[in-house]
Structure 1
Amino acid sequence: MPCGQFEANALYFAICTLSYNLFVMLREHLPDEFKKSRAKAVRLKIYAIAAKLIKHSRQYKLKLQKFNNVLLSQVIDSAWIR
């Protein structure tokens, strides 16, 4: 248990449940190579993507490496199709 108080532990487990459910929803929209991946592998490959946010002429652009750009577009396309 992370804490000795019941309410704090209940909140901790509620946050863990929410994060797991969000992870499962994200994994559904990832390419097939990630379907059986664990949370740590997805975190290292998806969440740790290096990017640069650029603002120019009141527009924002997200610059990614080519591989990451393809992966991100697959995730977005999958999310919009469903």
Structure 2
Amino acid sequence: MQSDKEVDARNLNCPLPILRCKKALNELAAGQVLKIMATDPGSKKDFDAFCRQTGHTLLELQETDGVFTFWIAKRST
């Protein structure tokens, strides 16, 4: 999947992956896609909750060798 920005949050524990995600989304325009990679096992729940609470769209989640890769579309304002 194509992304407009990429953030590497591997080896960071909660809440740092979410904070990095939030900062990166603030730099994107509505509809653009952020790709973020994390290794914290709790990140699956965290990013799902983050998207539901903020209105962003979790487009896809892939897990490969303990790395969770999320594609998140920034909400329209």
The reply to whether TM is greater than 0.5 is no
The two structures have a TM-score, normalised by structure 2, of 0.23
More strand by share: 2
TM-score, normalization by structure 1: 0.22
The structure with higher relative contact order (CA 8 Å, sep 6+) is 2
